[in-house]
């Protein structure tokens, strides 16, 4: 709770409603973007411990600055908190390819069980994320990744959903 109060006090402009998903049967809401200063967010992350630290990193993945999102992602990627999964999956449906590649690389190297559990529980969210990833590939990355199936976002989503279906 102190973490959220600190973020509210630091906010440059109000966060807009982003997405709602289910994690282990409970509703989770996250902002579309978080508009606080990068230095304030970094200070909050540094001061926080345990679940508050992981939550601050999750919220950092919603930050308006892509470099801050990537920085938070790199620290969050190996967390074992199931409620971090939607924050990771959400990034696969966004346009910053460097962030998508971090997730795709991590999925190749680590288990995707929390992500797969999340995918089974949120098929609509997964479908929307796949549609967004496809649109960004079509608009911006078609020259770099000749086939949709070679796009890092799609390969990551395929891996998550394949594990979800096999369980």
Q: What is the pLDDT along the chain (167 residues), one digit of tens a residue?
A: 455 555 555 555 555 678 999 999 999 999 999 989 999 999 999 999 999 999 999 999 999 999 999 999 999 998 889 999 999 999 999 999 999 999 999 987 776 888 999 999 999 999 999 999 999 999 999 999 999 999 999 999 999 999 988 86
- By CB atoms closer than 10 A (0-12, 13-18, 19+), residue 65 is middle
Q: Bridge-partner residues for 23, per DSSP?
A: 26
Encoding tokens for residue 75?
Answer: 């620290």
Q: What is the pLDDT of residue 85?
A: 96
pLDDT given for residue 136 in this prediction: 97
Q: What pLDDT, on a 0 to 100 scale, did the predictor assign at position 1?
A: 43
The DSSP letter of residue 111 is: -
Q: With DSSP H G I counted as helix, E B as strand and the rest as coil, what are the percentages for the chain, rounded to 5? A: 65, 10, 25
User: Within a 10 A sphere around the Cβ of 64, how many other Cβ atoms?
Assistant: 15
Model pTM score: 0.89
State the pLDDT at residue 112.
82
């Amino acid at each position: 709770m102190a973490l959220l109060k600190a973020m509210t006090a630091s906010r440059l402009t109000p966060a807009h409603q982003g997405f709602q998903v289910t994690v282990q049967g409970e509703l989770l809401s996250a902002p579309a973007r978080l508009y606080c200063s990068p230095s304030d967010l970094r200070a909050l992350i540094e001061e926080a411990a345990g679940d508050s630290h992981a939550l601050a990193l999750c919220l950092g993945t919603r930050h308006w600055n892509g470099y801050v999102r990537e920085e938070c992602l790199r620290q969050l990627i190996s967390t074992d908190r199931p409620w971090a999964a939607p924050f990771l999956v959400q990034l696969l449906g966004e346009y910053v390819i460097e962030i998508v590649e971090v997730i795709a690389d991590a999925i190749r190297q680590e288990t995707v069980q929390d992500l797969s559990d999340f995918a089974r529980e949120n098929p609509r969210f997964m479908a929307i994320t796949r549609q967004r990833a496809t649109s960004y590939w079509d608009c911006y990355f078609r020259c770099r990744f000749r086939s949709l199936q070679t796009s890092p976002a799609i390969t990551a989503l395929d891996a998550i959903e394949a594990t979800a279906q096999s369980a």
